[in-house]
Structure 1
Amino acid sequence: MKLSQLLFCLISTFVFAQNKNLLQSGPMLGYSEMKEVLIWAQTTQEAEIYIKYKKKGTDVYFQSDKIKTSKNNGYTAKLLADNVTEGTEYEYDLFINNKKVSVNYPTVFQTKKLWQWRTDAPDFSVALGSCNYINEPELDRPGKGYGDNYEIFTSINAKKPNIMLWLGDNTYLREADWDTRNGIYHRYTHSRSVKEIQPLLASAINLAIWDDHDFGPNDGDRSFINKHITQQAFKDFWGNKFYGLDKNQEQGVCSMYSWSDVDFFLLDDRFFKSPNNRKTGERTILGKEQLEWLLDALSNSKATFKLICIGGQVLNSADVFENYATYKEEREYLLNQIKENNIRGVLFLTGDRHHSELSALKRDGTYTLYDWTVSPLTSGVSKSGAKENNTNRVEGSYFTERNFGMIHFSGNKENRQMKLVLHNVNGEPLWEKVISAKELK
C-alpha cells in the first residue's frame, strides 16, 4: 500500500472513531405522524447534527434541518423528518458535524397510515414497562447494585414493537442528582446511554410518562422545588407530541398520542399532586385542570381502545403506598365520570409497584374496567404486593420478577381485540389475556 493510501485510511479511521464518539445516545424515534416524524439524539459535546432519510427501496434522500446541540439542553436535538408520506417505511442515517454515524442495528421508521374510511384499523403492537434502574456505583447506595438484567431491552426489541411505552420511573434520580440542574441532566444522560437500549430506541416509537423517580425524590409531589427543571429535562430527553396543557407547555408533562384505533392518554401524576401527608385541603393526584381535560378528551375520543397511562395503580383496592385508593374522592370521581359519560374501551396502564398484576373492577350496568400494572424492567423486585388485600386482582396475573408487557391489537372492525402478554427478561411468556372490544362496550 502506498504511503498516501495508508495515510488516507488512518485519517478516515480516526475521523470515523472521533465522530462516533460524539454520539452520546440515540438516535431515538419520538412521535410519528402522516407528514412528520421526530427523531432525537444526544451528543457528547457541542456539535451540528441532522438526519438523512429515504423510502425503503429507493435512493432518493431527504434531509432534516441542521441543529447545533448545546449544554443548555444536555446536548440533545430533536430533528424532524418533514418530507414524508403517510403509511410508508423509511430508512435514516444520523450525521454529526457532516459525518455519517454508523451503528450496527437498523435505523428505520414508519409514518402513520391513512386508514380511516378506507380499511380496517391496522394491526400493531405496543411494548411497555416501568422502573428502569441503571447502576452507577459511585452514586448508588452501598451494597449490591439495584439494577440488573439490561438484556431485557434486547428481548423487547426482538419482539419488534411499533411503540415502546415507558410507564414512569424510566430513570432514577439519586440523592446527588435532584438538587441541581447539572445532577438532573447527568442522571437522564446516564440512564439513556446504556448500550442495550439503543436498538430499541432507534426503530420503535418511544412514548413516556414520568413517576416520582424521574420527577424528583421518592414520593415526590407539587412541593418539589426543582420540578420545572426535571420537567425541562423530561421534555429534552423524550419525543412526545406535547407536554402539559398550558399554551407555553410549562406546567407538567401531560400528553396524548394516537395510533391506528387506539388513543394513549399520557398523564402526569406528580406535578400537581398534593403531598401524601397533607391533612387539609383538597387531595389530588392529577389536579382539576388535567382531570377535566382527561374526561373531555375521553368523551371526545372515537378510538376503539382508550389507554390511560399513569404511574401509580388505579384499580388496586388496597389503600397502601401511593395507589389511587389513597386519594379516594378523586379516584371515585374519575371512575364515576367514565361510567356516567358512557366512555367505552378504557384500559389503565400503570407501573411503580415493582411487581406486575392485572386488576379488574366489575361495575353494575357497564363493562369491567381493567388496570394492567407492568413492573419492573431493570430495578429491584418487591414482594410486598403479595400481602396486600387487592380484591380486584385477577387470579394468576401476579408476578414478582423483572418483566415487560406486550399488547397486540388485531382483528377487523367487528372483532377488534387486544392481547396482553407478560414476558420475562428473556422474552418468554409468563401470562396472557385477550380482551375484545365487545367486552368494553
Structure 2
Amino acid sequence: MIKNIVLSCLFVVCSFVSFAQDSLLKSGPMVGYSDFREALIWVQTTQPAVVRIGYFTTGENEKFTNSVQTTLEGDLIAKLTPSDVEYGKTYTYKLYINDVYVARDYKLEFQTQTLWQFRTDPPDFKIALGSCSFINETKDDRPKPYGGKYQIFNSILAKNPDLMLWVGDNMYLRTPDFMTDRGIRHRYRHTRATPELQALLGSVHHYATWDDHDFGPNDADRSYVNKRITEKTFNDYWGNLNTNAAGNGGVTQHFSWNDIEFFMLDDRYHRAPNRDPNQDKAYLGKQQLDWLVDALTKSRATFKIIINGGQVVSDVAKFENYITYPTERAELFKRLHDAKIEGVIFISGDRHHTEISRLERKDAYPLIDITCSPLTAGTHSARDEGNTLQVKNKTFYNRNFGIIEVSGKRRDRVLLLNIYDSDGNKAFDYEIKAKDLRYPRK
C-alpha cells in the first residue's frame, strides 16, 4: 500500500516537472541547415533555461549536444548542433529543458547530407517552397484580418519534403514594429510561435531569405534605418548555413543539397528606392551581383536555383519586379549568357499569386522563374497583369505552396514542380529537365 502511494506521488511529481518544462518552450524545435558532419536545431524558451538535444538512429544509444543557456539578452534562443553523426542518415531527436525531457506530439527528425559524389547517382529528394506568411495579431492588425488558413503548414508537412525554402515575407512587420529592436523581435517571436507551424519546423530543414515585410516597412530599401537590427534578428531566428555571403552586409547565402546548389539573394539591403528615376539604380548592388555570377560560374551543380524575394524574369515593369531596375537586370542576364552558365532556375515570391514566367533566349536555354505566393497572406482575384512571359495555364490565385521533386540519374535529372492549395489539393504541375537547361553543343 505504502509502495503504491509512493509510486503515485512520484508519478505526480514527474508529471508536474515535465509540464513545468513544457511551459518553458515558446517555439520550436526548428531544424535548420543540414551538412555532412552536423545539423542545426533552433529552440526558443519563455524564460532563461538550459536547453540540450538528445539524438539517435535506430539501434543506437542516445547522444547529446552541449547544453545552451538561453538568456534575455539573446532573446531566449538556443542554437544546438548535433555533431556525432554519420553521412546520409536520419536521426530522431528529443528536446530537454533544464534536463527534463519535453515531449512533442509530432515527429522530431533531422538528416545529414549524403556523400554520393564519385560513388552513385545523386539521391532523389523533395523541396517545399512558399512566401508571404501573415499571422494575425488583432491588436496590431488592420481592421479586416489579412492572414488565414494556417492549416497550410500541416499540408506542407504531409507531402514529406526534405527541406523548405522560405522565399521572403516570411512574416510581416507592422506599424508598431518598424522603429525599435523590441518591436521587430516581438513580430518575429509572435509569428514563430504559431501553433500550426510547430510540426513543420520540427522535422523539415528550413532555409530562408527575406523580402520587404520581414526586412522592414512595405517596399523597404537600403535607406531603412533599422536594417542592421532586422539583419541581426533574421539571423537569430533562422538556422541558415551561412549569411552575408557577398561580404557587404545583408542575408545573401549559398548552400547545396545533393546535386543542387541554392543561391539565396538579398533584394533589400542594397536596393535603391523604387522611386529613384535613375535607370542604372542598384537592386542587388554590384558586390552582390559580382558574387552571384562568380559563384554560378564556379558551380557544377545540375540545377543552380536562385531564390529572390521579388520576381526576376517577369516583364511587368511595375510593382517591385526586377525589370523596374532595367540596367542591372539586363546585366545579370547578359553575364549569365556570356559565361555560358547552365542549369539556372529562379524562384521568387512577393506577388500574392503563383505563376511561371519563361524567357526564351537566342542561342541559349530559356530562363524560368517560379513565383510561389502566398502561404497565409491575403490573395487577389485572377487578373492579367501584363506579364507576356507568363506560361499559359500555370497560374494560381489562392493561398498555396510548392513541392519540387528532384529525381533521375546524374545526367538526366528532372525537376517536377507541384503547386498545392492550403488543404494539399493539387492545382498544377510543371516539369523542367536538366538537359533542357544546357547550351547547344557545337
Q: How does 1:39-438 map to 2 (within 5 A)?
A: 39-55=41-57, 57-143=58-144, 145-245=145-245, 251-280=249-278, 282-383=280-381, 386-438=383-435
Distance 1:245 1:200 in 2: 27
On the 8 A contact 2:94/2:101 being kept in 1, the answer is: yes
- Partners of 1:177 and 1:306 in 2: how far apart? 36
For residues 243-275 of structure 1, what are the alpha-carbon distances to aligned partners after superposition, in whole Å with 9 as ceiling and x for unaligned? 10366xx71011011001100101101111111
2:411 and 2:6 mapped to 1: Cα distance?
69
* SS across alignment from 2:369: strand
What secondary structure does 1:157 align onto?
helix
Report the Cα offset of residue 281 of structure 1: 8.6
SS at match of 2:94: strand
**How far off is 1:280 after superposition?**
4.7
Partner SS for 2:213: helix
Distance 1:84 1:221, change over 3 A: same
Q: Deviations over 1:348-406 (max 9, x none)?
A: 000000000000000000101100000000000023x7231111000001211000001
Worse-matched range after superposition: 160-169 or 238-247 = 238-247
Letter in 2 for 1:149: K
CA distance in 2: counterparts of 1:401 and 1:284, whole angstroms: 32
- Of 217-226 and 68-77, the range deviating more from structure 2: 68-77
The Cα offsets for residues 4-38 of structure 1, whole Å up to 9 and x where unpaired, read as 33332222221111100111111111111111111
In structure 1, distance between residues paired with 2:245 and 2:262: 15
CA deviation after TM superposition for structure 1 residue 413, in Å: 2.0
CA-to-aligned-CA distance 1:333-361 (integer Å, 9 cap, x gap): 00111111000011100000000000000
Partner SS state of residue 31, structure 2: strand
8 A contact 1:418–1:435 mirrored in 2: yes
- Alignment-mate amino acid for residue 212 of structure 1: D
Deviations 1:256-302 (A, max 9, x none): 11001100101101111111112359411111111100000000001
What amino acid does structure 1 have at the position aligned with 2:358?
Answer: A
The structural deviation recorded for 1:62 is 1.5
Does the CA contact (< 8 Å) of 2:246 and 2:291 recur in 1?
no
Q: 2:188 corresponds to which letter in structure 1?
A: Y
Q: Does 1:15 align with 2:13?
A: no
Q: Distance in 2 between matches of 1:386 and 1:328?
A: 24
Which residue type is aligned with residue 72 of structure 2?
K
Can you give the 5+ residue segments of structure 1 that lack an aligned partner in the other structure?
none
- The 8 Å contact of residues 353 and 382 in structure 1, kept in 2 or not, is answered as no
Cα distance between partner residues in 1 of 2:245 and 2:131: 24
Equivalent position to 2:27, from 14, 25, 28 = 25
What SS does structure 1 have at the residue aligned with 2:54?
strand
- Give the distance between the partners of 1:401 and 1:216, measured in 2 at CA: 25
d(CA) in 1 for partners of 2:363, 2:278: 35
Q: Please report how far the alpha carbon of residue 3 of structure 1 lies from its aligned counterpart in structure 2 after TM superposition.
A: 4.0
Q: State how far apart, in whole Å, the 2-side matches of 1:182 and 1:424 are.
A: 35
Give the distance between the partners of 2:356 and 2:430, measured in 1 at CA: 10
Contact 1:73 1:233 in 2 (8 A): no
What number of residue pairs does the alignment pair up?
A: 436
Quote the sequence identity (%).
45
Deviations 1:198-257 (A, max 9, x none): 11111111000000000010000111111111111100010111110366xx71011011
TM-score, normalization by structure 1: 0.97
Root-mean-square deviation over aligned CA pairs: 1.3
CA distance in 1, matches of 2:266, 2:277: 22
One-letter code aligned to 1:82: S
Aligned 8 A contact 1:152 1:425 in 2: yes
Range with greater deviation from structure 2 (274-283 or 331-340):
274-283
Task: Name stretches of at least 5 consecutive residues in structure 2 with no aligned partner.
Answer: none
1:134-190: CA deviations, max 9, x gaps?
0000110112x1000000010000000001110000010000111111111110011
Secondary structure class of the residue paired with 1:251: coil
Write the deviation string for residues 294-346 of structure 1: whole angstroms up to 9, x where unpaired.
00000000100000000000111010110001000000000111111000011
Amino acid in the other structure paired with 1:411: G
Specify the SS of the correspondent of 1:274: coil
Q: Distance in 2 between matches of 1:272 and 1:95?
A: 41
Say whether the 8 Å CA contact 2:356–2:395 is kept in structure 1: yes
Letter in 1 for 2:293: L
> Helix, strand or coil for the counterpart of 1:30?
strand
* Higher alpha-carbon deviation: 200-209 or 274-283: 274-283
For the Cα contact (< 8 Å) 2:282–2:325, is it kept in 1? Answer: yes
Contact 1:243 1:254 in 2 (8 A): yes
Tell me, in whole angstroms, the C-alpha distance in 2 between the residues paired with 1:355 and 1:287: 27
Contact kept, 8 Å, 1:165 with 1:206, in 2: the verdict is yes
Secondary structure of 1:153 counterpart = helix
Distance in 1 of aligned mates of 2:390 and 2:177: 36
Does the residue aligned with 2:122 lie in a helix, a strand or coil? coil
